[in-house]
Structure 1
Amino acid sequence: MMLRRLVPAFAAVLLASFLSAGVASAAPGPYVALGDSAAAGPLIPNPDLSFLGCLRSTANYPKLVAQQLGLTIKDVTCSGADTVDMTNPQETDLGTAPPQFDALTPDTAVVTLHIGGNDAGLTGLAESCLNLLPPPFGDSCMEENTAGGRDVYGERVAAVGPKVAAVLDGIHARSPNARVFVVGYTHYIRNNGCYPRVQVWGKDANYVQAKVDQLNGVLADAAAADGATYVDLRTPGVGHDVCQSSSVRWVEPFIPGNVAAPLHPNARGMAGMAQVVGAAISAG
């Protein structure tokens, strides 16, 4: 999921070593990576200095995939991005990022698209589910968002489908020969959560993950209708959620134990995701 309000000063503390990956058999290029912070990897060492406002990491999965497959990469993933930012400039705390589609050219051979979480507001949902006190103190985000028989975030997720379909049309118009891979979101929190270690009540944890799973279904359907390839990161992410130890998990809880943004992938997660995405591209 995505992070719009990161303090830029955190970038100054990124001093850990660069995470490298082995080189596999070469695949065609160039490769363009489009997407939000789930692909950009905010706060994971080391920062990509090409545009600090996007909080891209040099160890995010797009760059690791490019290394593994011997691809030339244009990584324009940007923290906080939504589907509008594919064709419009994106304002960040450190300047304006160009539209991500500017990276697409007629000779682009491979595109990964990791988008939709910000359109649905899923980071805001997760933040709203934080409860420092156990039930019955505080409010349930699940109950608030499903009151009166309406599922507020379910509706927001459903509305992402046409937006992603339009993005895929735009990719094909600019890069007609590209193989396109729509990348889903990983497994964030296990069934019933792990309160109080991660401060989300069990029923709220289930609601959050259900909305992520719903979004993955929307992305998979959009990919299928378009003829693109959907890449499932949810299944390989099981057992690597925020409830796991800092040496096992792929995503960080509200208080990170690894150098990464809260509620976002860490370096281990990016390495695991790179293996899955790289295998999908190779198989394609």
Structure 2
Amino acid sequence: MTARRVAALALAVLLWCVTGGQAVAGGPLRYVALGDSSAAGPLIPDQIDTTCLRSDRNWPHVLAATLHAALTDVSCSGATTADFTGRQAGIVPPQFDALRPDTDLVTVAIGANDIVLSSAFVACASPGGVPAQPSCRERYDAGGVDTFAARIRDTAPKVGAALNEIHRRSPHAKVVVTGYLTYWRPGGCFPADPYTPADANYIQSRLDMVAGMLAWQAVTHRASYVDIRLPSAWHGLCEPPERRWLEGATPSSPAYPYHPNAEGMRHVAAILAGALKARH
């Protein structure tokens, strides 16, 4: 058997696995990517949608190329679960409009904007090496109420309902949910990165809570969850530029601050591709 025929056979097996045995003779894998800026790739060149700050090097595009899939990428910076069915900022069509009965694969990256986690990145920053006061925990857990934990609990049924609707609109699709990259190793790296050890740990713990919520919603709503938090644990903001999968306050490569860079996008796509293959 020639190398070309071996490669073609391997691709056919992968497509069969991802689609759960659906026929692929009618064309390439039909893949829809839903989500927020963690998938869209703001400021990573080339930007192909200036409203959503979507890059052609984001992980949905890299994954689609790996799978030789026909991609419809509607990920959009700033998206929440409400933007799956509503018009984001009044102008961006609902992301669920991209779903079709013959869609084969759907990826979902959502949640951080539902809980307004960006507010902590703003309020808890300590530029210039002067610790912010009050601390993140004092600010968001005042009065014994864990603000973000409550918001995550409120977001969980929204994610579950969204997964149910994806199944309704695309009943034959494999649905894959993923979370967020690890930002800080324990203790962070203050003052090189402008979050004190306590504040870096606090924000990271809330990202971890989001990951746990997404994993549970995936398991209980007939979807798969692919963890990117653990694989990225030593590729966060405290690592040298050549090892980072994310960019911080002063990006060393084109990317929006505190978002994945192109290297991170490439690795997320590889993790997802590997998980899709391993689980079938």
Q: Are the structure 2 counterparts of residues 172 and 242 from structure 1 closer, same or farther at C-alpha, using a change threshold of 3 Å?
A: same
Q: Could you tell me which residue of structure 1 aligns to residue 213 of structure 2?
A: 218
From 166, 189, 208, the counterpart of 1:171: 166
1:97 aligned counterpart, secondary structure: coil
How many Å apart are 1:133 and its aligned residue?
4.8
1:159 aligned counterpart, secondary structure: helix
Aligned residue identity for 2:105? V
1:25 aligns with 2:23: no
How many Å apart are 1:122 and its aligned residue?
1.2
Q: Distance in 1 between matches of 2:158 and 2:201?
A: 26
Q: Could you tell me which residue of structure 2 aligns to residue 270 of structure 1?
A: 265
Q: TM-score, normalised by structure 2?
A: 0.88
Aligned pairs for 1:204-283 within 5 A:
204-283=199-278
Aligned pairs for 1:10-49 within 5 A:
25-26=11-12, 27=15, 28=19, 29-48=29-48
Q: How many residues align?
A: 257
Q: Distance in 1 between matches of 2:130 and 2:144?
A: 22
Aligned residue identity for 1:239? W
Q: Could you tell me which residue of structure 2 aligns to residue 85 of structure 1?
A: 83
Q: Distance in 2 between matches of 1:30 and 1:158?
A: 32
Q: Note the residue ranges of structure 2 that are not aligned, 5 or more in a row.
A: 1-7, 20-28
1:118 aligned counterpart, secondary structure: coil
Q: Distance in 2 between matches of 1:204 and 1:265?
A: 20
Q: TM-score, normalised by structure 1?
A: 0.87
Work out which of the two has the higher radius of gyration on C-alpha atoms and give 1 or 2: 2
Deviations 1:32-54 (A, max 9, x none): 00000000000001112xx3201
Q: Distance in 2 between matches of 1:110 and 1:137?
A: 44
How many Å apart are 1:218 and its aligned residue?
0.2
Aligned residue identity for 1:42? P
Aligned residue identity for 1:69? L
1:200 aligns with 2:158: no
Q: Give the superposed CA RMSD.
A: 1.6
Deviations 1:38-71 (A, max 9, x none): 00000001112xx320111000000100100111
Q: Distance in 2 between matches of 1:190 and 1:221?
A: 24
Q: Could you tell me which residue of structure 2 aligns to residue 64 of structure 1?
A: 62
How many Å apart are 1:282 and its aligned residue?
2.5
How many Å apart are 1:139 and its aligned residue?
2.6
Q: Could you tell me which residue of structure 2 aligns to residue 14 of structure 1?
A: none
1:142 aligns with 2:137: yes
Percent identity reads 44
